[in-house]
Amino acid sequence: MRGALDPSCMEHVSIDEVDPVAMGADIDRRGLSDPLSTTNLAVNHYRLTPGERLSGSLHTHTDQEEVFVVVEGEATFERLDDDVTVGAGEAVRFGPGEYQSGVNDGDGELRVLGLGAPRDSEDVRVPQSCPECGHENLRILPTEDGEGFVTVCPECGTEADGD
């Protein structure tokens, strides 16, 4: 029987051997959740050049807590009311519903571990108003081909132009 203290539950992976998955952006993002067989925790490794972002824009996961650990470089996390700078050896936490977006504003490479729980966040929002009903916090959904995203009003279902 496999249990919490059973060493057969351990998984090991080399980050460089995991294929990058861009998810609509041309960045080096490597999803480690599947190779590590995590069930309750999303794990991603980001390697960003100057000017690149962890995500496309300011967003929140209404159903997920996120922690970012800066391994190398310095990240600027933009929020609705201010920015916070996180350097190598530091970490930052964003609670469910807290808007943020990380960017490499530095001159060198940025390496970050992103952790999220629960693993499969299904409700991602952006601070935009619906052009039809005015509802704020539009929901981001993947396109049918999985190559991009679309914003949809959770109240009236109107599809809106994304950032």
pLDDT of residue 160: 84
Domain boundaries, given as residue ranges, for the chain: 17-117, 124-160
pLDDT of residue 1: 44
Domain 17-117 fold is: Jelly Rolls (2.60.120)
pLDDT of residue 147: 74
pLDDT of residue 9: 76
Q: What residue ranges of the chain have pLDDT lower than 50?
A: 1-2, 163
pLDDT of residue 148: 77
Residue 11, number of CB atoms within 10 A of its CB: 10
